[in-house]
Amino acid sequence: MTTKIYVIILVSSFALLILNAVINGFLESSAKFKMDAIAPAVQVFTFVLFCAIIFSFIPLVIKLFIFLQHKIGNQDLTLVKFLKNHEQIVVYCAWGFCALGLAISLPSAIKDGFFK
């Protein structure tokens, strides 16, 4: 499991999130443009970037945890061995829990006006 793609996704999503905030602030401060027309699209875009950050952060944290445990000499512990041998499955399970939480909470958030 390579970390390069996850680092690229994390950094680019974070940079786009900051750029999105700067552009939105600039557009809101100018009196020529009304943000009401595109506000839902901007909120959805921001939410998607946030989800990309979270989903790309999980494998990086697991990889960092395993690396640091090896660095301090805990490579013989059962949990560290399990994570090292089943890293991809653990990442998929963590993604599944995040997706399950998102699937449970998103309908209520939409109903309560999260994207309005």
- On the question of pLDDT at 26 being above 70, the answer is yes
Average pLDDT (106-116) is 85
pLDDT > 70? residue 32: no
Q: Residue type for 6, please?
A: Y
Residues 20-43 have a mean pLDDT of: 79
The confidence score (pLDDT) of residue 2 equals 81
- Please give the pLDDT value at position 1: 61
Tell me the pLDDT of the chain averaged across its residues: 90
- Percent of the chain at pLDDT > 90 equals 69
Q: How confident is the model at residue 98 (pLDDT cuts 50, 70, 90)?
A: very high
Domain locations in the chain as residue ranges: 4-111
The CA distance from 24 to 39, in Å, is 9
